[in-house]
């Protein structure tokens, strides 16, 4: 499976280069604002999903709707599986396949699509990151008119150059530096009036930290996805080995769903092998933590932005919940004491 | 190279894919005709409530054969109606038919106002109050606890802290010894930063936990299950049963942060319960305080709570009368599988009946005799009883 391996390794390399560049950019920004380097991360996908689900009513109509959606998705996966295996099965039918050439018959793009769908990897990490960065920058621009706006504009422009940069266009890199320089010139370079302490400075530090969080999360997520893709390739080899065994035993598979049963069983076993390793547990734990760190800083930033508005903030609500919890306990204790006294 | 696909040609595949699409279109029609997915239909009445918790007592048509009421304590992570998912496969209805007086806790759906609830609040607060409410209503000094999954862990802790209120303890697929690496959830939990999770969410959405459950068998649970379902869609009853299970699987309450924090840190990560170091409220939980009769049921093919996590309870308690029972099946099959309907409820009811009449030794002998009769399933009972007979302390 060398071709597919090459494809996934190249994909991983592109991801790594891109978020390394992003991290460097963030570090430079951080060096200006806080003179140091920090790291953290983001879990927006899970959060957005949970938020969306929390908004949906839990009526039976939703169960039916969800089931229908999952059934369509599964049917789609079934057909995708056919697309992936079709050239290979054709070669088997035509008796033109041998152990060395079957690797060329698999399309790694289709394999990736299948794994993405199965494990809910909506899109490439970089695309997601880019989207989040764009939203973030827009928010930054609207909330920090004077100081943040040039940086936000620079970030927006850089994001537009990002795909070309990721594909190795040096002029895109130059453009990124140029826009960053302009931003610097319009803010720090012009006035050197960054507040030493206070809410504004804290906000700026937190903003750059959020950007850093996202890049660290993107890096971890890329590592996680890469592991999943490589395991998919491993499973394909194992499916081939199982088919070879059947050939030797003179067995037949008459229908495609029979093949699917074999494919499911082999994949389940192969992924279980990955999932039960300590290394995977650690990676999964790191990914979650990376997402949670970013989410934490993002919420903190939002609170800072919303501070002056006449609304209850999350931390204030937490205090209120704590008070309610403690009062409830006191009332229950007193009720129980009264009951005992009466008895 | 010989082909294994002698009758597996492109034409046949296209025909098969066409059939699949036809089934899908037809199935969609059937799905949209479903108005209501009824679950938990066994008649019951609300007898106690506190905050979001509700305590129900089931109506029984026949006579009561066991004097001591039974309180079912389900896990916090899923809904208790799984025990009464469909009328013809209802663990609850089976227990009622066998003459048990059944109560069940519905923990409700925690919201952010519940984020500070701890294990102490659930066990020494809500659970204890339910036990007291049942004792008051039935005029019984004690209740029998039947704890399921995490509810089994809570029931064991409760029984160790309040042995004077518990007549019998029945645990089903309950994790007690968390040191095992047999289950993926046990492995993954050990590397999870639960502080970051709780500090972020306060009440952890059920979807986050469900994602972990689905990853245990991603290909079966995300693809194959739905493809297989297409074959039964035309049968309305089978389709409804499928939807009932779907409804239950994805009806996952959020988890009160502080409770989950302690459960993961102290149990999954530090294994404090089995080590005798778990502190609930002001008290350290000593499982040796469990001196009442114990029936510990585990599932041989349980991928959520592996046998290695459940079985050690029998060695950790102080009971003289203790039975370890192997059910041959998985975690969910214990309650909704067709075999479990014939096997499990009668086993539990007999075990409780015999202890109610003060004949536990006779009961064990009867179980062993039955097991020796030869049925494969029952063989496990003999094995359990033969290898781990009740020892006098």
pLDDT digits (tens, 9 = 90+) for A274-302: 999 999 999 999 999 998 998 898 888 88
B85: three-class secondary structure by DSSP: coil
**Which residues does chain B have within 8 Å of residue A299's beta carbon, measured at their own beta carbons?**
200
CA distance A246 to B4: 6
Lowest mean pLDDT among A127-141, A270-284, B203-217: A127-141
Nearest to B170 by CA among B71, B302, B40, B271: B71
CA distance B71 to B96: 13
DSSP single-letter state for residue B47: E
> Which residue is listed with tokens 């006098």?
B392
Residue B312, both tokens: 């050690």
Which residue in A has a C-alpha nearest to residue B132's C-alpha? A336
CA distance B70 to B253: 24
User: What percent of chain A is predicted at pLDDT more than 90?
Assistant: 17
B7/A254 CB distance under 8 A? yes
> Which residue is listed with tokens 């070669």?
A91
pLDDT at position B90 is 93
**Paired sense of beta strands B203-204 and B255-256, if any:** antiparallel
pTM over 0.95: no
Mean pLDDT to the nearest integer, A217-243: 86
Give residue A186's pLDDT band: very low, low, confident or very high (50, 70, 90): low
Q: Dihedral through CA B371, CA B373, CA B375, CA B380, nearest 10?
A: 20
**Paired sense of beta strands B143-148 and B70-73, if any:** parallel
Residue A117, both tokens: 């769908």
Other residues' Cβ atoms within 10 Å of the Cβ of residue A70 = 18
CA distance B67 to A179: 81
A321/B13 CB distance under 8 A? no
B211/A92 CB distance under 8 A? no
Burial zone of A253 (CB within 10 Å; 0-12 exposed, 13-18 middle, 19+ buried): buried
A247/B2 CB distance under 8 A? yes
Strand-pairing partners, residue A175, are none
For residue A59, pLDDT beyond 60: no
For residue A304, pLDDT beyond 60: yes
CA distance B250 to B39: 14
A10: three-class secondary structure by DSSP: helix
Rounded to 5°, the CA angle A279-A283-A287 comes to 175
pLDDT at position A15 is 67
Contact B159, B290 (CB under 8 A): yes
pLDDT at position B154 is 98
Summarize pLDDT for B277-306 with one digit per residue, the tens: 999 999 999 999 999 999 999 999 999 999
CA distance A324 to B110: 14
Mean pLDDT to the nearest integer, B121-142: 97
Summarize pLDDT for A61-104 with one digit per residue, the tens: 677 777 777 777 777 777 777 777 777 766 666 666 666 666 66
Residue A211, both tokens: 């950007």
Nearest to B127 by CA among B144, B110, B105, B96: B105
Nearest to A83 by CA among A112, A42, A126: A112
Which residue of B21, B115, B247 is in closest CB contact with A321?
Answer: B115
For residue B4, pLDDT beyond 50: no
Q: What is the gyration radius of the CA atoms in chain B, in angstroms?
A: 22
User: For A250-343, where are the alpha helices, taking DSSP H only?
Assistant: 256-275, 278-306, 314-342
**Paired sense of beta strands B70-73 and B102-106, if any:** parallel
**Paired sense of beta strands B166-172 and B294-299, if any:** parallel
Mean pLDDT to the nearest integer, B231-251: 88
Q: Dihedral through CA A287, CA A292, CA A297, CA A300, nearest 10?
A: 170
Q: Determine the distance in angstroms separating the CA of A219 from the nearest CA of chain B, rounded to an integer.
A: 18
Contact B386, B378 (CB under 8 A): no
B191 catalytic per annotation: no
CA distance B160 to B375: 35
For residue A138, pLDDT beyond 70: no
Q: Determine the distance in angstroms separating the CA of A240 from the nearest CA of chain B, rounded to an integer.
A: 11
Mean pLDDT to the nearest integer, B352-376: 60
Strand-pairing partners, residue B171, are B147, B296
Contacts of residue A36, Cβ cutoff 8 Å, sequence gap at least 6: A30
For residue A252, pLDDT beyond 50: yes
Q: Determine the distance in angstroms separating the CA of B58 from the nearest CA of chain A, rounded to an integer.
A: 24
Which residue of B113, B205, B227 is in closest CB contact with A78?
Answer: B227
**Which residues does chain A have within 8 Å of residue B243's beta carbon, measured at their own beta carbons?**
63-64, 67
CA–centroid distance for A206 within its chain:
21
B325: three-class secondary structure by DSSP: strand
Nearest to B390 by CA among B276, B287, B296: B296
**Which residues does chain B have within 8 Å of residue A275's beta carbon, measured at their own beta carbons?**
184, 187, 215-216
Contact A121, A225 (CB under 8 A): yes
Contacts of residue B206, Cβ cutoff 8 Å, sequence gap at least 6: B77, B251, B252, B253, B254, B255
DSSP single-letter state for residue B53: E
A234: three-class secondary structure by DSSP: helix
Length reported for chain B: 393
Contact A291, A43 (CB under 8 A): yes
DSSP single-letter state for residue B84: G
A281/B208 CB distance under 8 A? no
CA distance B158 to B48: 19
Cβ-Cβ pairs closer than 8 A, A with B, add up to: 199
Give residue B84's pLDDT band: very low, low, confident or very high (50, 70, 90): very high
User: What percent of chain A is predicted at pLDDT more than 70?
Assistant: 57
Give residue B386's pLDDT band: very low, low, confident or very high (50, 70, 90): very low
Which residue in B has a C-alpha nearest to residue A87's C-alpha? B10
Beta-strand ranges (E) seen in B281-337 are 283-284, 294-299, 322-327
**Which residues does chain A have within 8 Å of residue B246's beta carbon, measured at their own beta carbons?**
63, 66-67
Residue B290, both tokens: 């469990």
Residue B389 or A130, more confident: A130
pLDDT at position A134 is 57
pLDDT at position A52 is 40
For residue A196, pLDDT beyond 80: no
A261/B224 CB distance under 8 A? yes
Strand-pairing partners, residue B296, are B171, B324
CA distance B213 to B185: 8
* ipTM entry: 0.82
Nearest to A106 by CA among A284, A289, A229: A229
Mean pLDDT to the nearest integer, A18-31: 58
**Paired sense of beta strands B279-280 and B283-284, if any:** antiparallel
Which residue of A50, A252, A292 is in closest CB contact with B6?
Answer: A252
Catalytic residue from among B149, B191, B259, B267: B149
pLDDT at position A71 is 75
Contact A267, A231 (CB under 8 A): no
Select from A78, A94, A249 the residue whose CB has the most chain B CBs within 10 Å, as the one to mutate to test that interface: A78
B298: three-class secondary structure by DSSP: strand
């Amino acid at each position: 499976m060398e071709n597919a391996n090459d494809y996934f390794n190249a994909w991983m390399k592109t991801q790594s280069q891109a978020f390394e560049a992003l991290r460097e950019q963030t570090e430079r920004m951080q060096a200006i604002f806080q003179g140091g380097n920090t790291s953290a991360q983001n879990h927006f996908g899970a959060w957005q999903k949970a938020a969306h689900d929390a908004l949906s009513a839990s009526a039976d109509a939703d169960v039916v709707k969800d089931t229908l959606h999952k059934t369509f998705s599964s049917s789609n996966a079934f057909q995708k599986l056919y697309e992936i295996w079709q050239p290979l099965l054709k070669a088997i039918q035509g008796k033109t396949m041998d152990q060395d050439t079957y690797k060329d018959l698999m399309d790694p793009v289709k394999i990736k699509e299948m794994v993405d769908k199965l494990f809910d990897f909506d899109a490439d990490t970089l695309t997601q990151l880019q989207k989040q960065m764009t939203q973030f920058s827009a928010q930054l621009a609207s909330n920090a008119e004077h100081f943040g706006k040039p940086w936000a504009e620079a970030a927006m422009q850089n994001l537009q150059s990002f795909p070309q940069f990721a594909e190795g266009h040096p002029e895109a890199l130059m453009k990124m530096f140029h826009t960053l320089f302009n931003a610097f010139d319009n803010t720090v370079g012009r006035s050197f009036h960054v507040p030493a302490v206070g809410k504004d400075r804290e906000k700026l530090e937190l903003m750059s930290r959020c950007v850093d969080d996202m890049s660290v999360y993107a890096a971890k997520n890329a590592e996680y996805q890469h592991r999943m893709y490589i395991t998919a390739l491993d499973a394909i080899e194992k499916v081939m080995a199982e088919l070879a065994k059947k050939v030797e035993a003179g067995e037949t598979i008459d229908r495609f769903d029979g093949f699917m049963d074999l494919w499911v069983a082999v994949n389940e076993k192969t992924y279980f092998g990955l999932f039960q390793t300590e290394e995977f547990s650690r990676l999964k734990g790191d990914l979650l933590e990376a997402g949670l760190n970013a989410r934490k800083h993002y919420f903190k930033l939002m609170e800072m932005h919303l501070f002056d508005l006449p609304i209850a903030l999350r931390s204030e609500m937490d205090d209120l919940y704590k008070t309610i919890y403690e009062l409830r306990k006191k009332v229950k204790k007193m009720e129980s004491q009264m009951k005992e006294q009466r008895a | 190279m010989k082909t294994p696909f002698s009758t597996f040609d492109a034409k046949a595949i296209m025909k098969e894919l066409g059939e699949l699409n036809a089934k899908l279109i037809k199935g969609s029609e059937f799905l949209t005709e479903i108005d209501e997915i009824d679950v938990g239909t066994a008649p019951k009445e609300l007898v106690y409530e506190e905050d979001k918790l509700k305590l129900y007592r089931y109506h029984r048509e026949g006579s009561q054969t066991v004097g001591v009421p039974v309180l079912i304590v389900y896990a916090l992570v899923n809904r208790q109606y799984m025990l009464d998912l469909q009328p013809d496969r209802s663990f609850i209805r089976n227990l009622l038919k066998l003459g048990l007086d059944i109560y069940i806790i519905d923990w409700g759906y925690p919201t952010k106002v519940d984020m500070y609830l701890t294990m102490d609040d659930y066990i020494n607060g809500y659970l204890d109050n339910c036990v007291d409410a049942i004792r008051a209503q039935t005029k019984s000094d004690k209740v029998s606890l039947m704890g399921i999954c995490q509810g089994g862990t809570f029931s064991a802790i409760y029984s160790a802290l309040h042995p004077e209120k518990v007549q019998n303890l029945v645990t089903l697929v309950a994790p007690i010894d968390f040191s095992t690496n047999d289950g993926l959830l046990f492995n993954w939990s050990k590397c999870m930063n639960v502080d970051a999770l709780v500090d972020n969410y306060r009440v952890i959405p059920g979807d986050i936990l469900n994602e972990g459950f689905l990853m245990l068998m991603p290909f079966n649970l995300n693809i194959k299950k739905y493809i297989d379902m297409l074959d039964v869609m035309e049968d309305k009853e089978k389709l409804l049963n499928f939807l009932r299970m779907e409804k239950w699987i994805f009806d996952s309450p959020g988890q009160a942060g502080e409770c989950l924090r302690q459960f993961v840190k102290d149990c999954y990560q530090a294994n404090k319960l089995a080590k005798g170091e778990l502190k609930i409220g002001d008290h350290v939980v000593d499982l040796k305080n469990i001196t009442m009769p114990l029936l510990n049921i585990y599932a041989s093919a349980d991928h959520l709570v592996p046998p290695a996590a459940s079985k050690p309870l029998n060695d950790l308690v102080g009971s003289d009368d203790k039975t370890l029972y192997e059910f041959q099946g998985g975690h969910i099959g214990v309650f909704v599988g067709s075999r479990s309907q014939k096997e499990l409820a009668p086993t539990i009811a007999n075990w409780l009946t015999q202890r109610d009449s003060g004949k536990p030794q006779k009961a064990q002998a009867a179980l062993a005799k039955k097991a020796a009769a030869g049925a494969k399933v029952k063989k496990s009972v003999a094995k359990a009883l033969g290898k781990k007979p009740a020892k006098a302390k």
